[in-house]
Chain A
Amino acid sequence: MPVEEVYRLYGLTKQEYEGIVKRLGRKPNHVELGVLGALWSEHCSYKSSKRLLRLFPTQGEHVLQGPGENAGVVKLDDKVWLAFKIESHNHPSFIEPFHGAATGVGGIIRDVLSMGARPIALMDSLRFGLPLDPKTKHIVKGVVKGISHYGNSVGIPTVGGETFFEECYKTNPLVNAFCLGIIPAGRMFRARATKPGQLLFLMGSSTGRDGIHGAVMASGEFSEDAESKRPNVQVGDPYFEKKLIEALMRIIEEGLVVGIQDLGAAGLAGASSELANKSKMGVVLHLEKVPLREEGMNPYEILLSESQERMLLVIERDKVQRLKELAKDFHLEGEVVGEMTDDGMFRAYFHGELVAELPVSLITEEAPVYERPSREPDYIKQVRSFKEEELEQKDIKDSLLKLLSSPNVCSKEWVYSQYDYQVGTNTVLVPGGDAAVLRIKWVVSPEIKSEKLVALSCEGNGRMVFLNPYEGGKYVVAEALRNLACVGAQPLAITDCLNFGNPERPEVMWQLEMAIRGMADACKFFGVPVVSGNVSLYNETVEEKEIRNIYPTPILVAVGAIEGKRFVTHKFEEEGSMVFLIGDLKRSWSLGGSEYLKVVHGIVAGDVPAVDLKKEKLLHETLIKLIREEIILSAHDVSTGGLMIALLECLFGTGLGLELNLYTEEALDRFFFSESPTRVVVSIEKDKEELLKNHVEGVGLDWLLLGKVKGEPELIVELYEEPILKERVEDLEKLWRDPLADML
């Protein structure tokens, strides 16, 4: 590489570099280039997505902190606030699955911690290639083990999540980690200093050479030498994170801190410049003060190291003594490394020598924003040309058995049984249902308790978004909120992680823009704000001549509240209860984007069944009402795999059976396997049938009586009183329970 193109080593383009030289009136030095390269990376600056992210609604009656801070914060009740966020750790998890995933968990915990919240729950949304070849199996096992290692040890339960397998994620797995924390009302912290002269106290682990330039790595596409980037991946230590959490909780309790910022992407450079920018101040760092774990580290490495388990605290001068005592007490490093100034400059010294001097605004706010070209991809016309009517009819029983053991439908117990989902004794509904449900309590000062329960649901059907990004975006939001409604929870807010391909390709920009528009329209309609999140672009692999971008995969976590501890699960409760399908049923049911098309016919095609947002919202309100008034015994939404799979999921693990008496004109494959939205399976006691029908009809929705729950553990399906299917539930359950464990 010619000397004049050296900026490329830092992930900067020619135009970006020239802009920097012009702004500074001189050439930046090596350290300055490192800082700018890291902070101007897509990962830190959102330069391709910023313009579109403004489309999301971010305000609402419960919102206390929207996007822009380390996590969003909403009000649960008068005493408890909730802080939460989801973030990606995709690129590191391909290069080094175990540590990549583990540090993803560690990073999101610190985001929530920096709001002053005690983290109480984790979730993970994972996407892998099909678990058939050794390399993919290695990734799956490594990622799950990494999450298990970190989350279990740090003592925060992993209460839910989702896992999907699709070819497009083969060399670009997605690992999105979510964390929820609780704050006693009124005690939220931000990444802010309040006046110049306040000190920066770096606390936690020592700093090493791990993860230098991770943000730049995460902002480039992969080529065949991806694995040579392994030294870019950070290594996590959950034991230090646990001590850091406890220490910070004590520090807050003793009133020793003004502002908090975690160290993540771009390390100390990122944390201090963002803090300075948000505080509208400058900052001076003395890099020789940073506690190191390796000898001979230079200023560049110290500034940009992404060593884990570190926090930057803004403190008053008279608190240094006590903070050092506490750090020692908790077996942590703790040192004053800099201070806030009033001149808006970022300056770093190393043993008295000035090694970097940049305007804070140049590093942060002046990062470029791109309006990249966007164009509808060619594949869209091709997938839409699919004619469902011409589909070959397949045997229903064969199809059902195939679907049950498909990795996207089968039980994910192999994954979640490796996570401690109960530590903290707040987990009311364990993984495996539509949503996780948590009780809110903390027992030592400050004691926290809420009469409300909190529900969390995680969704992100990339296949639907691929087929139609706009309708897919709506579909994903509708499903996440429907899952909350299925346990009786009213939504408070959403956090999202947008996982897309290379934004320099107009087709990917089009997907991003349409998906965001779809999601934003749905969020506005439902009145549910997006309060935090993250964008992960460049999920692309260039291999020989093949360019592979992932499916556009927005992943959402919806957070909701349950009143009066009234909730239901997806499982059928008792023999003799009646099983109904309720929702938007008079529309045409489509097989577009279904798991059935993929698994049984080997096709990914069709259009996404458009969500009627009005009916969807009515369905959620009705469900919450039916649960609060104790009219229904169980609720489960129809999603991946369709109605038949939903019904079996209600049955598995109950020891009960089901008899379906169907009267439908619909083609059977469509009736059983369509993934059309706005439909929920509910069960009720026989004498409440009329009550249910009145509620559903009263709001203009439809109901369909499907059958009843039996004591005998078998599945019987009759169509116009003719038997078409009779199976032992035990056999079906085995097909559904074991595939993942067998494959891995």
Chain B
Amino acid sequence: MKFGVCVFPGSNCDYDTYYVLRDVVGVEVRFLDFRETKIQNIDCVVLPGGFSFGDYLRAGALASKTPIAKALMDFAQRGGFVVGICNGFQILTELHLLPGALLRNENLRFVCKDVYLRVENSSTPFTKKLEKGEVIRMPIAHGEGRFYVPGGELKRLEERGQILFRYCQEDGSITKEANPNGSVGNIAGVCNETFNVFGLMPHPERACEDLLGYYDGLLLWYSLISA
């Protein structure tokens, strides 16, 4: 499986994602410049975290108007895999490749900490190496991560199984305390209707090495490469 990591001016998890894919997961990966108009010979595009174009105007808004974003629409429609992490998730909602929007955190502060996530659907290409109900640990680092969709839409997402992860306690219970940013339904990661585009606020690329104190992120990458 061949990966591409998009680089926008202001991306800052691009190198981390590239490193994890190349050196830890051990797959082929290259950078994709935001000015590229075609995505070829790539199976999965990762939109990394960061502050694309300074996140001016609104997080992800400017990145969604670039040539690569246009190419990404085609790529996704053709069934290519797309993963958006943090700022990448924000870009995907701006592109309407994913439902909902990501608003300022409820407490209006940037938050960097570990969170627990409960797996809500393990029958997707992004989660097949996980069990439904399983609890994993990953770090978050964002100021605009409060996922929001209106009530009716939320219900449809739940029915179709598009919610992949919710913030939870260590024991898997979904509580207000476990929700770091005020996301509706404690939602941390969602998928599109055709299960080839996935966005999440936590950082799986930061959670793949014992030395750094994490390994659960690997399960996401391993799911994808066995897809």
A interface list, Cβ under 8 A from B: 145, 148-149, 152-155, 237-239, 242-243, 330-331, 416-425, 427-428, 439, 441-444, 565
With A418-B112, A427-B212 already in contact, the answer to whether A238 and B54 are too (CB < 8 A) is yes
The answer to whether A425 and B110 touch across the interface, beta carbons within 8 angstroms, is: no
Q: In the complex, what distance in Å separates the CA atom of A367 from the CA atom of B209?
A: 52
A423's contact among B16, B54, B55, B212, by CB below 8 Å, is which?
Answer: B16
The answer to whether A424 and B15 touch across the interface, beta carbons within 8 angstroms, is: yes
The answer to whether A417 and B113 touch across the interface, beta carbons within 8 angstroms, is: yes
Q: In the complex, what distance in Å separates the CA atom of A441 from the CA atom of B16?
A: 10
Residues of chain A within 8 A of B113, CB atoms compared: 417
The answer to whether A154 and B12 touch across the interface, beta carbons within 8 angstroms, is: yes
Residues of chain A within 8 A of B55, CB atoms compared: 153
Q: Which of B185-227 contact A (CB under 8 A)?
A: 203, 205-206, 209, 211-213
Judged by a CB distance under 8 angstroms, whether B20 is at the interface is yes
Q: In the complex, what distance in Å separates the CA atom of A154 from the CA atom of B9?
A: 11
With A239-B53, A330-B9 already in contact, the answer to whether A424 and B112 are too (CB < 8 A) is no
The answer to whether B20 and A425 touch across the interface, beta carbons within 8 angstroms, is: yes
Minimum C-beta distance from B17 to chain A (A): 9
Minimum C-beta distance from B73 to chain A (A): 24
Interface code B1-26, partner A: CB below 8 Å = 1, 0 otherwise? 00000000110110110111011000
The answer to whether B112 and A425 touch across the interface, beta carbons within 8 angstroms, is: no
Residues of chain A within 8 A of B54, CB atoms compared: 153, 237-239
The answer to whether B15 and A417 touch across the interface, beta carbons within 8 angstroms, is: no
The answer to whether A239 and B19 touch across the interface, beta carbons within 8 angstroms, is: no
Chain B residues bordering chain A, tally (CB within 8 A): 33
What are 17 of the A-B contact pairs (CB < 8 Å)?
A145-B109, A148-B110, A152-B141, A152-B143, A154-B12, A155-B50, A242-B9, A330-B9, A418-B110, A420-B112, A421-B112, A422-B206, A423-B12, A425-B19, A439-B211, A443-B23, A444-B18
Top-9 shortest CB links A-B: A155-B12, A239-B54, A420-B141, A443-B19, A153-B51, A425-B16, A418-B110, A148-B110, A420-B112
B interface list, Cβ under 8 A from A: 9-10, 12-13, 15-16, 18-20, 22-23, 49-51, 53-56, 109-113, 139, 141, 143, 203, 205-206, 209, 211-213
Closest to A439 in B: B211
The answer to whether A417 and B111 touch across the interface, beta carbons within 8 angstroms, is: yes
Minimum C-beta distance from A568 to chain B (A): 14
Minimum C-beta distance from A362 to chain B (A): 41
A422's contact among B15, B18, B203, by CB below 8 Å, is which?
Answer: B203
The answer to whether B56 and A239 touch across the interface, beta carbons within 8 angstroms, is: yes
With A417-B113, A418-B112, A443-B15 already in contact, the answer to whether A425 and B206 are too (CB < 8 A) is yes
The answer to whether B51 and A239 touch across the interface, beta carbons within 8 angstroms, is: yes
Residues of chain A within 8 A of B13, CB atoms compared: 155, 423
Minimum C-beta distance from A214 to chain B (A): 23
Closest to B113 in A: A417
Q: In the complex, what distance in Å separates the CA atom of A425 from the CA atom of B23?
A: 13
Residues of chain B within 8 A of A239, CB atoms compared: 9-10, 51, 53-54, 56
The answer to whether A441 and B19 touch across the interface, beta carbons within 8 angstroms, is: yes
A152's contact among B16, B18, B110, by CB below 8 Å, is which?
Answer: B110
Q: In the complex, what distance in Å separates the CA atom of A442 from the CA atom of B23?
A: 12
The answer to whether B141 and A422 touch across the interface, beta carbons within 8 angstroms, is: yes
Residues of chain B within 8 A of A154, CB atoms compared: 12
Q: In the complex, what distance in Å separates the CA atom of A548 from the CA atom of B141?
A: 39
Q: In the complex, what distance in Å separates the CA atom of A427 from the CA atom of B114?
A: 14
Give 10 new A-B contacts, CB below 8 A, not counting A153-B10, A428-B211. Answer: A154-B12, A237-B54, A238-B54, A239-B10, A416-B112, A419-B110, A419-B112, A422-B112, A425-B19, A425-B20
Minimum C-beta distance from B90 to chain A (A): 14
The answer to whether A565 and B51 touch across the interface, beta carbons within 8 angstroms, is: no
The answer to whether B141 and A423 touch across the interface, beta carbons within 8 angstroms, is: yes
The answer to whether B203 and A443 touch across the interface, beta carbons within 8 angstroms, is: no
Q: In the complex, what distance in Å separates the CA atom of A424 from the CA atom of B143?
A: 18
Q: In the complex, what distance in Å separates the CA atom of A330 from the CA atom of B11?
A: 13
With A148-B110, A243-B9, A565-B211 already in contact, the answer to whether A424 and B16 are too (CB < 8 A) is yes
Closest to B109 in A: A418
Q: In the complex, what distance in Å separates the CA atom of A416 from the CA atom of B110?
A: 10
Residues of chain A within 8 A of B12, CB atoms compared: 153-155, 242, 423
With A422-B203, A439-B211 already in contact, the answer to whether A242 and B10 are too (CB < 8 A) is yes
Q: In the complex, what distance in Å separates the CA atom of A444 from the CA atom of B22?
A: 11
Closest to B7 in A: A246
Minimum C-beta distance from B86 to chain A (A): 10
The answer to whether A422 and B19 touch across the interface, beta carbons within 8 angstroms, is: no
Residues of chain B within 8 A of A145, CB atoms compared: 109
The answer to whether A418 and B51 touch across the interface, beta carbons within 8 angstroms, is: no
Residues of chain A within 8 A of B19, CB atoms compared: 425, 441, 443
Residues of chain B within 8 A of A152, CB atoms compared: 51, 110, 141, 143
The answer to whether A420 and B110 touch across the interface, beta carbons within 8 angstroms, is: yes
The answer to whether A428 and B110 touch across the interface, beta carbons within 8 angstroms, is: no
Residues of chain B within 8 A of A243, CB atoms compared: 9-10
With A153-B10, A242-B10 already in contact, the answer to whether A443 and B111 are too (CB < 8 A) is no
Residues of chain A within 8 A of B206, CB atoms compared: 422-423, 425
Closest to A331 in B: B9
Closest to B33 in A: A329
Minimum C-beta distance from B192 to chain A (A): 27
The answer to whether B139 and A422 touch across the interface, beta carbons within 8 angstroms, is: yes
Closest to A330 in B: B9
With A424-B16, A425-B212, A443-B18 already in contact, the answer to whether A418 and B111 are too (CB < 8 A) is yes
Which of A148, A153, A427 has the most CB atoms of chain B within a 10 A radius of its CB? A153
Minimum C-beta distance from B220 to chain A (A): 15
Residues of chain B within 8 A of A153, CB atoms compared: 10, 12, 51, 54-55
Q: In the complex, what distance in Å separates the CA atom of A439 from the CA atom of B16?
A: 13
Residues of chain B within 8 A of A242, CB atoms compared: 9-10, 12, 51
Q: In the complex, what distance in Å separates the CA atom of A573 from the CA atom of B182?
A: 33
Closest to B12 in A: A155
Residues of chain A within 8 A of B20, CB atoms compared: 425
Q: In the complex, what distance in Å separates the CA atom of A422 from the CA atom of B111?
A: 12
Closest to A442 in B: B15
Closest to B203 in A: A422
Q: In the complex, what distance in Å separates the CA atom of A149 from the CA atom of B56?
A: 12
Residues of chain A within 8 A of B143, CB atoms compared: 152
Residues of chain B within 8 A of A443, CB atoms compared: 15, 18-19, 22-23
Which of A145, A243, A331, A420 has the most CB atoms of chain B within a 10 A radius of its CB? A420
Residues of chain B within 8 A of A416, CB atoms compared: 112
Residues of chain A within 8 A of B211, CB atoms compared: 428, 439, 565
Residues of chain B within 8 A of A417, CB atoms compared: 111-113
Closest to B24 in A: A425
Residues of chain A within 8 A of B112, CB atoms compared: 416-422
Residues of chain B within 8 A of A423, CB atoms compared: 12-13, 16, 49, 141, 206
Closest to A152 in B: B110
Residues of chain A within 8 A of B50, CB atoms compared: 155
Residues of chain A within 8 A of B110, CB atoms compared: 148-149, 152, 418-420
Which of B15, B19, B112, B212 has the most CB atoms of chain A within a 10 A radius of its CB? B112
Closest to A426 in B: B212
Residues of chain A within 8 A of B213, CB atoms compared: 428
Q: In the complex, what distance in Å separates the CA atom of A149 from the CA atom of B112?
A: 13
Minimum C-beta distance from B50 to chain A (A): 6
Minimum C-beta distance from A435 to chain B (A): 16
Residues of chain A within 8 A of B139, CB atoms compared: 422
Which of A148, A155, A239, A422 has the most CB atoms of chain B within a 10 A radius of its CB? A422
With A154-B12, A239-B9, A418-B111 already in contact, the answer to whether A428 and B22 are too (CB < 8 A) is no
Minimum C-beta distance from A250 to chain B (A): 13
Residues of chain A within 8 A of B10, CB atoms compared: 153, 239, 242-243
Minimum C-beta distance from B154 to chain A (A): 28
Q: In the complex, what distance in Å separates the CA atom of A565 from the CA atom of B20?
A: 20
The answer to whether B16 and A428 touch across the interface, beta carbons within 8 angstroms, is: no
Q: In the complex, what distance in Å separates the CA atom of A444 from the CA atom of B30?
A: 11
Closest to A156 in B: B12
